[in-house]
Structure 1
Amino acid sequence: MGEKLDRMGLEAYFRRIGYEGPQEATLQTLCRLHFLHPLAIAFENLDPLLQRQVKLDLASLEQKLVQGNRGGYCFEQNLLFMAALMALGFRVSGLAARVLWGRGEDAVTPRSHMLLKVELPEGTYLADVGFGGLTLTAPLRLEAGWEQATPHEIFRLDREGDMWRMRAKLGEEWRSLYRFSLDEQFLVDYEITNYFISTSPESHFLHSLMAARPTSEGRHALLNDQLKTYDLNGSYDLRMLSSGEEVVAVLRTIFGIQPTDLSGLGDVLEKKVILKQA
């Protein structure tokens, strides 16, 4: 178990995501929070890209994602969400997953992604507010083979021995996001992986700009100089960005990211991302 938000921190978190509902540990509350969180707090990797430390202690997460109007990646997003759920009395624990998205269906990958397990009277649910361009906008019941609709895509969990596989239906095709076990993980486990993916020259988080945010109408996804805006049917429009200044404007207006503490961000993005793609 990790830290939980105190009363002031919880109220600030609610303001950040626009939540005004009941403060009880119910499935209805979980569903509403799980929808609002990713719509308000974008997935992004600005700190690793700019070689800045990614801190996972709760005070740093609150300062960055809540008070600083920034986003973050899976460890930051789900640790903050976990702290909020625990403050409300939810029984929640951390899990780890091996990412398969963009890789082969049987690829062997490290446990580089965090998700949450939530125990409710209705059963066990999975929560994950930090998987980039396909971040869940609703919790999923931990039940094999059941097609589960969310405000965005349809998802399915498949049992594979002691492991589980999460799939999303894109058009008529089922695509694997990741595989995971139910072994509980702790902050020390995430800190090791976080250090690697935020500092290693082999990590793609150091070489490509990524940002993602679902909306009520679809999703926005930014990869370097390519901005895709998806509708709820999966169709998208592509916009090519031509300068670091334009990227910064998109981060602010479309993704709601306010990187006021990152001086010279436009110049750095132009050198490392935009011009590299030319």
Structure 2
Amino acid sequence: MIQTVSPVQLAAYFDRIGYTGPHEASAETLHALHRLHPQAIPFENIDTLLGVTPRLDLESVFAKLVSARRGGYCYEHNLLFRAVLETIGFETTGLAARVLWADPDAMLPRTHMMLLVETPDETWLADVGFGSMTLTAPLVFDNGREQATPHETFRLDLIERGDFKLLVKLGETWKPVYRFDLEPQVPSDYAMANHYVSTLPDSIFVNHLIVARVIPGQRQTLFDRTVTRRGTAEEHRELTSAAELRGVLEDTFGITLPTDAKLASVLEHLAAQAASAAT
């Protein structure tokens, strides 16, 4: 069963992302929501660092990303986005991808969630939850066509066995992001993948702090202690204390941090690693 949000929740979501446009299932509405969502709601994996597997029921996701003004990772972002789109009247399908970002030759499990969205004239790929390379506009399904977004240029290539590959243009180089097919996913597929990435001992989400947010003309990321700002130029800054980490999470990324007592020790541990590396 595809979930929708209540009128009160829809209004709260629109307030959270700053959307004041029409409530109609058009390409213009899809583009506006897709641009605003990742600007307002950051990508973050604080829960998994605290040993918590994020809950994927809509009420929990809404409470965390909207009411508590937190962020989340792909399942949380795209489940919320899908429920909003369905409420407005879009037809959506949940998909899953094998991530190629770190290793373009890898055939990893399908652990990333994104969406297929239908409008009267087009079929779109929508994805508001891919961390440092989250789309800031939906992409029309058109093999090999270069498509500009408010940030980078992307393209979708049809490859072997009916799979598609998403690529992003960085400078003059096309870098693979992920590969996927059009097989619809059901909640149990995402539940299994969510458990896998949040509990596997060597999962990146269990071992590293990963936070990302876009603003007009710039991407901001935090990987453990390194803050990166990438726009016309790229800047890096190393954080050296738990207080700095907390300040960046709250001020740069706009996260209302959880009250979990473990968070202080996690931030202290990251800061201690910085001190150890400096000696």
TM-score relative to the length of structure 2: 0.96
Task: Name the aligned partner's letter for residue 151 of structure 1.
Answer: P
Contact 2:151 2:218 in 1 (8 A): yes
Q: How does 1:128-139 map to 2 (within 5 A)?
A: 128-139=127-138
Could you tell me which residue of structure 2 aligns to residue 244 of structure 1? 242
Q: Give the letter aligned to residue 159 of structure 1.
A: L
Asked if structure 1 preserves the Cα contact closer than 8 Å seen for 2:46 and 2:209, the reply is yes
The root-mean-square deviation of aligned C-alpha atoms, in Å, is 1.1
Cross-structure match for 1:219: 219
Equivalent position of 2:46 in the other structure: 46
CA contact (8 A) 1:213 1:255 kept: yes
Gap regions ≥5 residues in structure 1: none
**Secondary structure at the counterpart of residue 86 of structure 1:** helix
Match of 1:101 in 2: 101
1:228-239 to structure 2, matched below 5 A, reads: 228-231=228-231, 233=232, 235-239=233-237
Alignment partner of 1:274 is 2:268: no
Question: Which residue matches 1:32?
Answer: 32
Counterpart contact for 1:221–1:227, Cα < 8 Å: yes
3-state SS of 1:80 partner: helix
CA shift for structure 1 position 262: 2.7
Q: Secondary structure, in 3 states, of the residue corresponding to 1:98?
A: strand
Report the number of matched residues: 274
In terms of mean alpha carbon deviation, does 75-84 or 2-11 score higher? 2-11
Task: Return the alpha-carbon distance in structure 1 between the equivalents of residues 261 and 2 of structure 2.
Answer: 32
Residues 1:210 and 2:207 aligned together? no
Quick one: percent identity of the two aligned structures? 47
> Which secondary structure state, in structure 2, belongs to the residue aligned with residue 248 of structure 1?
helix
Cα distance between partner residues in 2 of 1:107 and 1:206: 20
Rounded to whole Å, the distance in 1 between the matches of 2:188 and 2:271 is 35
Q: Which runs of 4+ in 1 moved over 3 A?
A: none
Contact 2:43/2:71, CA 8 A, preserved across alignment = yes
Deviation track 1:125-163 (CA, whole Å, cap 9, x = no partner) reads 000000000100000001100000000000000001310
> 2:125·2:138 contact (CA, 8 Å) conserved in 1?
yes
Cα pair 1:211 1:222 within 8 Å, conserved = yes
Structure 1 counterpart of 2:261, one-letter code: S
* Residue 195 of structure 1 pairs with residue 195 of structure 2: yes
Shift of 1:275: 2.0
| Secondary structure at the counterpart of residue 272 of structure 2 | helix
Q: How far did 1:264 drift?
A: 5.0
User: Are 2:112 and 1:113 equivalent residues in the alignment?
Assistant: yes
Query: Which amino acid is 1:276 matched to?
Result: Q
Compute the displacement of 1:53 (Å): 2.8
Instruction: Tell me, in whole angstroms, the C-alpha distance in 2 between the residues paired with 1:236 and 1:95.
Output: 32
Cα offset, 1:266, TM superposition:
3.1
Aligned residue identity for 1:137: T
SS of 1:256 mapped into structure 2 = coil
**Aligned residues of 1:247 and 1:266 also touching (Cα < 8 A):** no
Structure 2 residues without counterparts, runs of 5 or longer: none
The equivalent of 1:165 in structure 2 is: 165
- Do the aligned partners of 2:47 and 2:53 also contact (CA within 8 Å) in 1? yes
Alignment correspondent of 1:263:
261
Residue deviations 1:210-243 (CA, integer Å, cap 9, x gap): 0000101201010011000111x3x211111001
Partner of 1:55: 55
Find the aligned partners of 1:143 and 1:4 in 2 and give their Cα distance: 29
More divergent stretch after superposition (246-255 vs 256-265): 256-265
